[in-house]
Structure 1
Amino acid sequence: MLRIDGQPRDLGGFRVRRLLPHPERQMVGPSILFDHLGPAEFAPGEGIDVRPHPHIGLATVTSPFEGVLRHRDSLGFVQDIHPEAVNWMTAGRGIQHSERTPPEVRAAGHRIHAIQTWVARPRAHEETGPAFVHHPAATLPVIAAPGARLTLIAGTALGATSPVAVLHPTFYLHVEAEAGAAIDLPDEPAELGLYVASGAVRLGGARLPAGTMAIPGPGPCRFEVEEAGHVMLFGGAPMDGPRIVWWNLVASDRGRIEAAKAAWREAPVGGRFGAVPGGTEWIPLPEER
């Protein structure tokens, strides 16, 4: 079993715990980035402000436990995402978006706790057009288990199928469990990861506290919940080769990364990545800050 402890990363005014990619493991199934935001308290007037930035070659998957984030993208979508709903943004050949705390939430003070992952696109679909889909919480399958509630975010598991469309065999499940619950890990995905967002679990004799990811070996296994909390199970079939990850860009070859960097440098507003309506801000390339 590979155990991963998250590393803090600054995303422009707030910090996240980053678990993937990791020096010993780039991907689990198609999941190539795994960030844990919060839990964090914001005083009235404070909030998250991630300015418009570009993506290629991936889909971003955002699902909060608590709080609200407002998504805006260059396709014109504006969508507040509430707890247990899912925003699935496909970058394809290029998109830009911003993520901010809505003004009314910012004014009141608030708490945020969320997970964001990136899902790599199969090679045959890296250059497809961008897209955005929002899935309200009520549309996602919920599976009841003793002492636990399991919400299927994407893929097929435990006899249920999520409405979130995927291009590669994918598995993403949110488990909210009480102390004493025992969950059998699905044996369908060839690659499986477990992340303890809050609480604590025991897996294969090892205690995993909040903020810990584990990638168990092949074969059936289960985890026992020692402290109530949130656990994410994710993975799927192995991806069709490694990927290059540079900043917010993902691709199977360096040329696509370099072309995207050049396009963002030359025209961050109105060029290849379009523009987020209502604003002229953008985040410069890291090498140019």
Structure 2
Amino acid sequence: MSNIELILEEKAADIGNFLVGRLLPFREKRAVGPFVFIDHMGPAELKDYQNLDVPPHPHIGLSTLTYLFEGSIFHRDSLGSALEIKPGAVNWMTAGKGVVHSERTPEYLRTTDKKLHGFQIWVGLPKNLEQSEPTFHHVEANEIPSWEEDEVHYKLIAGDVFGKKSPVPVHSPLYFIELKTKASKKVNIGKNLFGESALYVLDGTVTIEGNTYGSKKLLIAKNAQLCEFEMSDNAIVYIFGGEPFDEERFIFWNFVNSDKELIEKAKVNWNDQNHEAFPLVPGDEHDYVPLPKSKLNRK
């Protein structure tokens, strides 16, 4: 019997002036462990007049994880953080009760041809941290644990598995793992995994129980501990998951929470531009993403 519970096709979504491939959420699957939202950005070839510009926008009740394969994004937030995200590094911003941030092409790249490719991920917070103070952490690429085993290269982007721990300060038991091969290899890592688990093929293919799967598909496992597959030559695979929460997480626009009333309050505060609840972003104070009118009175 197959260990694949669900196969989700990546779907196009618009995040302003940039198209992405949405992996989560889907009607059939709202979350995998604490992961509630995943966008695959690119790969995009941007001309000298094309830039990523996501103006200041708010979040509550989640942590954002930005991880790039190619290109660069300049991050600013209402905590005063301002830095460039480069390939292999991790930006981890915990919104808690409320944070605002912007994501743009760095100034020095805005008039040149450039590439952009990576993941934008939202991770839900445990209920007791949904109203915590916001925080921001940046982890450089050389700080992420990486190793080779049986000719498979591993990178533990976030979480605690394989007896290793990423320095990304996550708030619940989870894992986000990169696997790369040069030659075809069988992989059996189920004994290390827990909770709910999903697999995404970036390059190459994986074969599971005689069936081969390529890119733009998210494979949801029935049982994380039965995670066994064969990777093709030059394959890149991402596995993410962890312990799901006891309570349902609701998503409305950029807000995630187990309490719908807190989401409604956040909608009003952002629509009214209440800067006590959602402070301005230093260095990017003159622009913002309005709350979609269709979201204001939707419960």
Aligned to 1:274: 279
Are the equivalent residues in 1 in contact too, given 2:181–2:232 (CA < 8 A)? no
Question: Deviation digits for residues 114-136 of structure 1, max 9, x if unmatched?
Answer: 01110000001100000100000
Length-normalised TM-score, structure 2: 0.92
Q: Name the stretch that deviates more: 209-218 or 52-61.
A: 209-218
Deviation at 1:253, TM superposition (A): 1.6
Match of 1:104 in 2: 108
TM-fit CA distance, 1:179: 4.1
- Greater shift, 68-77 or 97-106, is seen at 97-106
- Name the SS of the counterpart of 1:127 in structure 2: coil
Deviation at 1:171, TM superposition (A): 0.8
Residue type at the aligned position of 1:222: E
Q: For residue 261 of structure 1, report the CA deviation from its aligned partner.
A: 0.3
Q: Is the 8 A contact 1:193 1:214 kept in 2?
A: yes
Report the Cα distance in structure 1 between the residues aligned to 2:209 and 2:71, rounded to whole angstroms: 33
**Cα separation, 2, equivalents of 1:110 and 1:145:** 34
- Provide the residue aligned with 1:37 in structure 2: 41
TM-score scaled by length of structure 1: 0.95
For residues 123-272 of structure 1, what are the structure 2 equivalents within 5 Å?
123-187=127-191, 188-218=193-223, 219-267=225-273, 270-272=275-277
Shift of 1:36: 0.3
In angstroms, what is the RMSD of aligned CA positions? 1.5
Cα distance in 1 for residues equivalent to 2:27 and 2:294 = 25
Contact 1:157 1:186 (8 Å CA) reproduced: no
Q: Is residue 2:24 matched to residue 1:20?
A: yes
CA offsets per residue over residues 161-186 of structure 1, 9 Å max, x none? Answer: 11111221111111222240222233
Cα deviations across residues 31-90 of structure 1 (Å, max 9, x unaligned)?
000110011101123210001100000000011011111110000101111111100000
1:206 to partner: Cα distance: 2.2
Whether the 8 Å CA contact 2:78–2:282 is kept in 1: the answer is yes
Distance 1:162 1:120 in 2: 18
The CA distance in 2 between the partners of 1:197 and 1:146, in whole Å, is 21
Which ranges in structure 2 are unaligned for 5 or more consecutive residues? none
Which residue of structure 1 aligns with residue 291 of structure 2?
Answer: 285
1:44·1:109 contact (CA, 8 Å) conserved in 2? yes
